[in-house]
Amino acid sequence: MAEYSSIRFEHPNYQPMTLPDIDGKEHQFHFNTQLLGDRIAISALEIKDGEHHGYKFEVIGYNPEEDTLELYQLLVDKMRRGLMQRHLKVNKYGLGIAEPDIVRARIGYDLENPDGGPLLVIDGKEISWNEFGRMLMTFEGFQFRMEIYDITEER
């Protein structure tokens, strides 16, 4: 891509990193860098048992010819912020939504669901659509707003 776009680009090789979450549990991340024409994306993927499961963070830079170390540091800061948030808690009904009733999740695909339904990744945990629906039942009669945005954004 760099040659095709006439961009001077050196592919960085970031070493895996382990960071703790809000409960002190450690999560191991591997990094992936992609040149996207005139942009660069750096992703951090949580690795469990040699496979990607759980957390995923990503940032985009708009000048791939500049040093990517600053973009990498933005990603690490974003990872630390994300790991310090808690959206799920255990209550008398099992796993539920934590205070202040805000859930941030990444949408995935549930390979174990014969209907191919969505899978949500919340706090690094894979939650089926049915399990998430059960969590919502504690809010019966309430309203909610769903907002969908790119993985590179923070809200």
Segment 10-58, tens digit of pLDDT: 778 899 999 999 999 999 999 999 988 888 999 999 999 999 999 999 9
- Band the pLDDT of 137: cuts 50, 70, 90: very high
The least confident of 1-15, 29-43, 64-78, 124-138 is: 1-15
Residue 83 has pLDDT above 90, yes or no: yes
Question: What is the pLDDT of the chain when averaged over all its residues?
Answer: 91
Per-residue pLDDT at 5: 64
C-beta separation of 43 from 58 below 8 A: yes
Per-residue pLDDT at 6: 66
> pTM for the complete prediction?
0.89
Q: Can you count the helices (H) and strands (E) in the chain?
A: 3, 9
